[in-house]
Structure 1
Amino acid sequence: MAVKPIVMFPADVLEQPCEKVTVFDRKLTRLIKDMYDTMIEYDGVGLAAPQIGLSLQVAIVDIDDHHGTIELINPEIVEKRGEQTGPEGCLSFPGLFGEVKRANYVKIRTYNRKGKLRIIEAEGFLARAIQHEIDHLDGVLFTSKVEKYLDEEDLESVEG
């Protein structure tokens, strides 16, 4: 499909709650395919529509595991458990990384591109990535949750 340019902070679209998706059509399917191509091109594990300039509740996550690409359309966190703290970055903040505390387990109510309701449960890194992308849809940036910013040395010791 098409690789879209990534919107960089401080663009207003990144800090505004997104509109709900009401039409599940070919245009939405094309958007999701473009978002996937863009995420891969920029070496991300997730991408939200505001990061390509669209104020829509659409995000994708793919941490390169058995879950494959997860589509999040109008997602809602219905349950959270536990706690984890780990490094996060964001395609809209190139080269910036920080320690962020998130739930270790989440249960999500969401829709796929065809409008089918899905319940997704995730733990660990996948739960972290999903929460990061849902925050984007709510206009919340990871920088507002950073407990400590990380430099190259910090990242190397974390990645080990």
Structure 2
Amino acid sequence: MTELKILTFPTVILRKKASIVEGVSEEIRCLIADMAAVMYLNKGVGLAATQVGILKKVAVIDVGDGLVKLINPVIVKKEGLEIEEEGCLSVPDVHVKVKRAKRVTVSFLSDDWATQEVTAGGLFARAIQHELDHLSGRLILDYLNPLRKALLYLDVANMRYSSKGSKFSS
């Protein structure tokens, strides 16, 4: 098992877009297993490869119904809208109200390279959309109103340059 570390805002790689996985290999299977272990250890419900510094379109999600492994996921259908509060392992101690589709259908490859399609609602739909945001370089901070976003960025800047140090990685 490779030791993966969850990157936190404002780490630059979190803003990068992930690239398509060209073929499932033992390396990708190990990445998925390691990502799942890190997600469970940190009590998350989802984790994207970009959050651990890997620019590949890979995500893992478990909202209580078992681990779902997503390779090259694409949302093919969205239904309805709802606003719910979200947190993120890469943006600790911050919760943001985010407008997302109530239901989504996602197409992806499994770790045995089979194409799958799943329709999800509730927390599972929200987690899928959240992790796909990560794979596109988006964070929950992008959903903040401009004033709250400016205050948060100021707070992060102050923490980074204070003599007390920062809990954020650079």
Q: TM-score, normalised by structure 1?
A: 0.87
Distance (whole Å) between structure 2 residues aligned to residue 45 and residue 25 of structure 1: 24
Instruction: Tell me how far 1:84 sits from its aligned partner.
Output: 1.4
Q: What does residue 58 of structure 1 align with?
A: 58
Q: What does residue 20 of structure 1 align with?
A: 20
Q: What does residue 4 of structure 1 align with?
A: 4
Q: What does residue 79 of structure 2 align with?
A: 81
Contact 1:82–1:103, Cα closer than 8 Å, also in 2? yes
Contact 1:3–1:35, Cα closer than 8 Å, also in 2? no
Higher percent of residues as strand: 1
Q: What does residue 121 of structure 1 align with?
A: 119
Distance (whole Å) between structure 2 residues aligned to residue 24 and residue 34 of structure 1: 15
Amino acid paired to 1:130: I
Instruction: Tell me how far 1:3 sits from its aligned partner.
Output: 4.7
Distance (whole Å) between structure 2 residues aligned to residue 84 and residue 14 of structure 1: 25
Instruction: Tell me how far 1:25 sits from its aligned partner.
Output: 1.1
Q: TM-score, normalised by structure 2?
A: 0.82
SS of the equivalent of 1:126 reads helix
CA distance 1:12–1:43, change in 2 (3 Å): same
Q: How does 1:1-160 map to 2 (within 5 A)?
A: 1-65=1-65, 68-146=66-144
Distance (whole Å) between structure 2 residues aligned to residue 90 and residue 139 of structure 1: 14
Unaligned runs of 5+ in 1: 150-160
Distance (whole Å) between structure 2 residues aligned to residue 127 and residue 133 of structure 1: 10
| Segments ≥4 residues shifted beyond 6 Å | none
CA RMSD of superposed structures (Å): 1.5
Distance (whole Å) between structure 2 residues aligned to residue 125 and residue 138 of structure 1: 20
Identity of aligned residues (%): 39
Distance (whole Å) between structure 2 residues aligned to residue 57 and residue 92 of structure 1: 17
Contact 1:3–1:41, Cα closer than 8 Å, also in 2? no
Instruction: Tell me how far 1:75 sits from its aligned partner.
Output: 0.7
Length, aligned pairs only: 147
Distance (whole Å) between structure 2 residues aligned to residue 124 and residue 3 of structure 1: 31
Distance (whole Å) between structure 1 residues aligned to residue 144 and residue 40 of structure 2: 25
Unaligned runs of 5+ in 2: 149-170
